[in-house]
Amino acid sequence: MPIGFIGLGIMGSRMAANLKKAGYDLMIYNRTREKADPLIKAGAQWCDNPAQLAEKVDILFTMLAHPEAVSQIALGDIGFLDNMRPDGIWVDCSTVNPSFTKAMAAEAQKRRIRFVDAPVLGTKKPAREGQLVFFAGGEKEDVATLRPYFEIMGKAVKHVGDHGMGASFKMVVNLLVAQNVVIFSEAVALGRALGFSQEMLFDMLLDGPMAAPYLSVKRPKFEDGNFEADFPLKWMHKDLHLVALTAYEKGVALPTTNVAKEVFLQAKQAGLGEKDFAAIFDYLSSGNKS
Amino acid sequence: MPIGFIGLGIMGSRMAANLKKAGYDLMIYNRTREKADPLIKAGAQWCDNPAQLAEKVDILFTMLAHPEAVSQIALGDIGFLDNMRPDGIWVDCSTVNPSFTKAMAAEAQKRRIRFVDAPVLGTKKPAREGQLVFFAGGEKEDVATLRPYFEIMGKAVKHVGDHGMGASFKMVVNLLVAQNVVIFSEAVALGRALGFSQEMLFDMLLDGPMAAPYLSVKRPKFEDGNFEADFPLKWMHKDLHLVALTAYEKGVALPTTNVAKEVFLQAKQAGLGEKDFAAIFDYLSSGNKS
Amino acid sequence: MPIGFIGLGIMGSRMAANLKKAGYDLMIYNRTREKADPLIKAGAQWCDNPAQLAEKVDILFTMLAHPEAVSQIALGDIGFLDNMRPDGIWVDCSTVNPSFTKAMAAEAQKRRIRFVDAPVLGTKKPAREGQLVFFAGGEKEDVATLRPYFEIMGKAVKHVGDHGMGASFKMVVNLLVAQNVVIFSEAVALGRALGFSQEMLFDMLLDGPMAAPYLSVKRPKFEDGNFEADFPLKWMHKDLHLVALTAYEKGVALPTTNVAKEVFLQAKQAGLGEKDFAAIFDYLSSGNKS
Amino acid sequence: MPIGFIGLGIMGSRMAANLKKAGYDLMIYNRTREKADPLIKAGAQWCDNPAQLAEKVDILFTMLAHPEAVSQIALGDIGFLDNMRPDGIWVDCSTVNPSFTKAMAAEAQKRRIRFVDAPVLGTKKPAREGQLVFFAGGEKEDVATLRPYFEIMGKAVKHVGDHGMGASFKMVVNLLVAQNVVIFSEAVALGRALGFSQEMLFDMLLDGPMAAPYLSVKRPKFEDGNFEADFPLKWMHKDLHLVALTAYEKGVALPTTNVAKEVFLQAKQAGLGEKDFAAIFDYLSSGNKS
């Protein structure tokens, strides 16, 4: 039985390619068809719409940009949810907010479709190399059923709780991903203005006790100023919006994260939306260059 | 020739004790005399005021709470600076702002006193165990002269530049120290509200790619809620104020750090000033407990 | 033909009472029935659910707490929208976000129901005295049809545009309402700490060029510290959330308003949610009292 | 006996001109001499330095850009304070922080010079037209002595307390001046993005209950986008820095004002420093134009 994969952007195209490479039959769909071409060449089968695709698979992965896209693809006029077979599993790997995920889980359950939320940690390179980490929320058996697929696309899968807990954990993680680069950028901007070379600051701070280890991965981007997107800044802005929305729903005050959200928006307004989110470094340093 | 040490708080008392233990003669002074008692018992010699102390030493360390204290002790009515011998070295280990440090260096130079700024990374325990890291700003020869003393009190000394650059680097580091605990606290507050146990969050996040390694040191405090001060929250608030002041002088915008500064003040107003600065974790979580 | 009114909280109960007093037959519904008792005594007719009410009226006002409540009452299992007669008018006076309002307008239009969004400026007292200001969005004829009712409940109705523009204007206004009290509170907190009496600050600043005129209305609350709710702080927090949500949808950066949103949440966490939103003054001053 | 006036920028030049026009003999000094030319032509007498000027006057006004400038002119090598006659009055109209003002008052008193802090409300036009408002801190008799001069340069003088209270009140006022334009800008940015014309928003909001009356003065600048400086944005940024500094000294948390401070800095970095501070409107709207 083939597997379905909907959403072939930076992440989804690489995740699906790994499933294909591992020998699975793939049914694919994407809003803009051109992005599917490499996969089609590799043997995946194009479906004209989500509804059509749903009829041909038991396991359907989605990897989409935001809740609105997920909702449209799942529940829209040619959505897949009304067309999946009972007991099929919908695995949503999109980064969306937990309350939305729980609503999707409920929609799935209404139709006797099983649901697992499984957002990922990792961007373009880990996606390509099958080194993602999945945070899975849902039934134990369902996560177990999916484990072989997760292990092709990733290096680890962590079952963090019931429906929505994968999405919940992703909120926590992305808050940290975004904020770590913001505070590091503020620190380096200050350090440079005080007369330290960027190189010295990187050497002293990265891999040290005061910097999250993942920041070292971004060092080449910080250094050469080429912020080709592994994960576009505009999506990080969206994720911080979802974090703020979730915090509102839960009554959690996030004073600095809400400010970081606005800084990402300012950077997006300044034209950095399609750059890697690490370009926030550039945005926060720019005032001190001239 | 004995060494002078002024400022015997949480940090200074332990640093001076290590010098004493290493066999150096110590002349000491502190605003409140009682804090000097253990050192006096250990053989250090009390001086009635900074001016008197200055006459007896060639190398004088200060470890004080803020610029006003340093200024008072160095340049006040019974300050030491007018009483040091030419070519003596004043080593200021206090965390103060770089422009203040440069002014102190200039005051010292006017009197032909050599000056090194050498703030430290590390709190109570590393101070006691001689495991501090010094960031030294000043002349190469002077830093070399001081190296034996630094190596008794610390595990490393990094000569980061000219006068004021030690203080400058400390600003950068403390921005990160404060901000890392703030963003981690916001992340955990959100995670708990979403249903994760604190233990699970610590296990998943600490020592991982998204958390600065030093945060693990604070884990016991986060867990048992006993925030006995290694470094009091009120001093971290002061340091963030000095960071903001320095950023103003240099024209660097720090949108999230300025907010963190206010959050630390709110926590201080809520009665946490004498607790360890890691109690900001408690402050940022408190809204979600009830 | 009677008029329908759903939502009998602080605002709705007083607005409906004015319609009743003006001689209109009223069909009423509220989630908790007790709040309807005074109106029932005054002759209004209770309906057991929104669906039932809808069948008896051509014009239906709603005044509810948030989008979720509106959605539930309009589109839930016993919602009114499926039961209104074609060409009836639904007037939503709730403060909700424009994109939600537009969705409601579309749901109404699908069922050939006319829709006007008409949120109000004013709290308890103007509601009681028929001195509200309505910001109406919708068709010109519909607003004209409703004018007599608006004029009973209010002193002015401003037709600000098409569907959703009433809600849009309310977002702009409530941003200002909330922010004006925040900045005034910060100013007074500073002034008091600098040694000015609160009375002097009020005398010098209120009714002056630097304070929004409406702040004078809150002076008695600021002075006696009795923050009985005209408009509860928790709803202002909700409104700032809707402002932030709307700004996100439109790509507008609101750096200070997002911080104000978090301050309102902190005040809510501190137990001020049911107080008047002007209690933010108390919250922002509290650190300086002790 | 002539009057001294030091500091002939946008404000000082106009204030001094009014004193001259009223018939007083003026001794003047300014860091850059060219700015004094119009006054010299009008009959004022140039002095080569502050010390020289001090010898010729009993009353000396200063109107300078920031504390550092005041300190330099008063206490520098050719400063005036050591050269004024006992019982002379130094009137500092500069906007500086209260703790600095108190230090200056103490320096004056040490030399038996009387001191009054008298910062002003009003920018270029009121300065030219003698319509400023003075907030005076100091001895009652001294303020009375100065009243005739204040009344030439202004329309009102408010004796708000002892030394430093004039400066203190100015902090409170400028917090409001800056913040009012920030919150209004955020509101209009949101309103425009929601589809309202700028004109409609101005008509509905300015002169209404939700906008500080002074904002109407800025309407022409908002409308034609010509932000020629009445009061440069860079000085407002400096003032917000002094507000933050003062709040720190007094332990007052100002969460939104600290963010506004950073927004002004970002606007300055974007090249708006020499524009009127109302250009923050332009900065906060700019993201939504394209």
* DSSP reduced 3-state for D184: helix
**Residue C1's pLDDT band (boundaries 50, 70, 90)?**
confident
User: Given this model, what pLDDT does residue A103 score?
Assistant: 97
Q: List, in order, residues 6 or more apart from B131 with CB less than 8 Å away.
A: B122, B125, B154, B155
C249 touches chain A (CB under 8 A): no
- Alpha helix (H) residue ranges in A22-111: 37-41, 50-54, 67-75, 98-110
pLDDT single digits (tens) B86-103: 999 999 999 999 999 999
Asked if residue A127 lies in contact with residue A95, where contact means CB atoms within 8 angstroms, the answer is no
Query: Closest Cα to residue D183, out of C183, B204, C35?
Result: C183
Q: List, in order, residues 6 or more apart from D14 with CB less than 8 Å away.
A: D124, D127, D128
Distance CA C157, CA A144 (A): 60
Kindly state the average pLDDT of the residues D84-108.
Answer: 97
Mutate to test the interface with B, among C190, C266, C288, C289 (most CBs of B within 10 A): C266
Q: Is the pLDDT of residue C223 over 90?
A: yes
User: Given this model, what pLDDT does residue D290 score?
Assistant: 41
Distance CA B184, CA B212 (A): 9
Parallel, antiparallel, or unpaired: how do β-strands A89-92 and A114-117 relate? parallel
> Do B214 and A209 lie within an 8 Å CB cutoff?
yes
* DSSP reduced 3-state for A115: strand
Mutate to test the interface with D, among A254, A269, A280, A282 (most CBs of D within 10 A): A269
Kindly state the average pLDDT of the residues A100-129.
Answer: 97
Q: State yes or no: is B170 an active-site residue.
A: yes
Mutate to test the interface with C, among B265, B269, B284, B288 (most CBs of C within 10 A): B269
Q: Where are the beta strands (DSSP E) in chain A?
A: 3-6, 26-29, 45-46, 59-62, 89-92, 114-117, 120-121, 132-137, 154-161
> Do B259 and D259 lie within an 8 Å CB cutoff?
yes
Type of residue numbered C224 = D
Kindly state the average pLDDT of the residues A159-165.
Answer: 98
Kindly state the average pLDDT of the residues A102-131.
Answer: 96
* DSSP reduced 3-state for D260: helix
**Separation in Å, CA of D164 to nearest CA in chain C:** 9
User: Given this model, what pLDDT does residue B285 score?
Assistant: 87
User: Given this model, what pLDDT does residue B288 score?
Assistant: 60
Count of helix runs (H) and strand runs (E) in chain B: 13, 9
Give the alpha-carbon dihedral of D7, D12, D14, D17, to 10 degrees: -50
Kindly state the average pLDDT of the residues D254-280.
Answer: 97
The overall average pLDDT reported for chain D is 96
- Chain B residues with CB-CB distance to A194 below 8 A: 98, 165, 168-169, 171-172, 246, 250
Distance CA B201, CA B183 (A): 14
**Residue D286's pLDDT band (boundaries 50, 70, 90)?**
confident
Q: Is the pLDDT of residue C161 over 50?
A: yes
> Do D265 and A259 lie within an 8 Å CB cutoff?
no
DSSP code string of D64-109: -SSHHHHHHHHHSTT-SGGGSPTT-EEEE-S---HHHHHHHHHHHH
Catalytic residue selected from B20, B56, B102, B170 = B170
> Do B172 and A179 lie within an 8 Å CB cutoff?
no
pLDDT single digits (tens) B270-285: 999 999 999 999 999 8
User: Given this model, what pLDDT does residue D288 score?
Assistant: 60
> Do B190 and A212 lie within an 8 Å CB cutoff?
no
End-to-end CA distance of chain C: 60
The overall average pLDDT reported for chain B is 96
* DSSP reduced 3-state for D164: coil
Region of C156 (left: φ > 0; alpha: ψ -120 to 50; beta: rest) is beta
Q: Is the pLDDT of residue C105 over 70?
A: yes
Distance CA A164, CA A271 (A): 33
Query: Closest Cα to residue D181, out of D224, D231, D131, D135?
Result: D231
pLDDT single digits (tens) B46-55: 999 999 999 9
Q: List, in order, residues 6 or more apart from C111 with CB less than 8 Å away.
A: C81, C82, C84, C86
Distance CA A20, CA C185 (A): 61
Q: Is the pLDDT of residue C290 over 60?
A: no
In chain B, which residue's Cα lies nearest the Cα of C268?
B287
pLDDT single digits (tens) B120-143: 999 899 999 999 999 999 999 999
Phi first, then psi, for residue D18 (nearest 5°) are -65, -40
User: Given this model, what pLDDT does residue D1 score?
Assistant: 86
User: Given this model, what pLDDT does residue B283 score?
Assistant: 95
Annotated catalytic residues of D are 170
Output b/e per residue, A55-85; b: 16+ Cβ within 10 A: ebbebbbbbbbbbebbbbbbeeebbbbebbe
pLDDT single digits (tens) D3-46: 999 999 999 999 999 999 999 999 999 999 999 999 999 999 99
**Percent of chain C predicted with pLDDT > 90:** 97
Region of C225 (left: φ > 0; alpha: ψ -120 to 50; beta: rest) is left
- Chain B residues with CB-CB distance to C287 below 8 A: 265-266, 269-270
D263 touches chain C (CB under 8 A): yes
Asked if residue A174 lies in contact with residue A28, where contact means CB atoms within 8 angstroms, the answer is no
Query: Closest Cα to residue D253, out of B273, C232, A264?
Result: B273
pLDDT single digits (tens) C166-187: 999 999 999 999 999 999 999 9
Kindly state the average pLDDT of the residues A35-64.
Answer: 97
C255 touches chain A (CB under 8 A): yes
* DSSP reduced 3-state for B216: helix
Give the alpha-carbon dihedral of C3, C9, C12, C18, to 10 degrees: 90
- Tally Cβ neighbours within 10 Å of residue A195: 16
pLDDT single digits (tens) C227-259: 999 999 999 999 999 999 999 999 999 999 999
Query: Closest Cα to residue C221, out of C282, C177, C272, C170?
Result: C282
Kindly state the average pLDDT of the residues A97-102.
Answer: 98
Q: 3-state secondary structure string, chain C?
A: CCEEEECCCHHHHHHHHHHHHCCCCEEEECCCHHHHHHHHHCCCEECCCHHHHHCCCCEEEECCCCHHHHHHHHHCCCCCHHHCCCCCEEEECCCCCHHHHHHHHHHHHHCCCEEEECCEECCHHHHHHCCEEEEEECCHHHHHHHHHHHHHHEEEEEEEECCCHHHHHHHHHHHHHHHHHHHHHHHHHHHHHCCCCHHHHHHHHCCCCCCCCCHHHHHHHHHHCCCCCCCEHHHHHHHHHHHHHHHHHHCCCCHHHHHHHHHHHHHHHHHHCCCEHHHHHHHHHHHHCC
**Residue D285's pLDDT band (boundaries 50, 70, 90)?**
confident
Q: Is the pLDDT of residue C165 over 90?
A: yes
**Percent of chain A predicted with pLDDT > 90:** 97
User: DSSP letter at A81?
Assistant: G
Work out how many CB contacts closer than 8 A connect C with D: 188
The overall average pLDDT reported for chain C is 96
ipTM: 0.95
- Chain C residues with CB-CB distance to B270 below 8 A: 287
Type of residue numbered A151 = E
Q: Is the pLDDT of residue A79 over 80?
A: yes
Phi first, then psi, for residue B57 (nearest 5°) are -135, 160
Parallel, antiparallel, or unpaired: how do β-strands B120-121 and B132-137 relate? antiparallel
Cβ-in-10-Å burial (0-12, 13-18, 19+) of C68 comes to: exposed
User: Given this model, what pLDDT does residue B290 score?
Assistant: 41
Kindly state the average pLDDT of the residues A33-53.
Answer: 97
Work out how many CB contacts closer than 8 A connect B with D: 42
User: Given this model, what pLDDT does residue D70 score?
Assistant: 98
Query: Closest Cα to residue D133, out of D160, D116, D155?
Result: D155
* DSSP reduced 3-state for D150: helix
- Tally Cβ neighbours within 10 Å of residue B144: 11
User: DSSP letter at D276?
Assistant: B
Q: Is the pLDDT of residue C60 over 80?
A: yes
Asked if residue D59 lies in contact with residue D88, where contact means CB atoms within 8 angstroms, the answer is yes
Which pair of tokens denotes residue B62? 């200060």
**Percent of chain C predicted with pLDDT > 70:** 99
pLDDT single digits (tens) B145-175: 999 999 999 999 999 999 999 999 999 999 9
Kindly state the average pLDDT of the residues D126-132.
Answer: 97
Distance CA D156, CA A80 (A): 73
C28 touches chain D (CB under 8 A): no
Parallel, antiparallel, or unpaired: how do β-strands A120-121 and A132-137 relate? antiparallel
> Do A255 and D255 lie within an 8 Å CB cutoff?
yes
User: DSSP letter at A42?
Assistant: T
Kindly state the average pLDDT of the residues A154-180.
Answer: 98
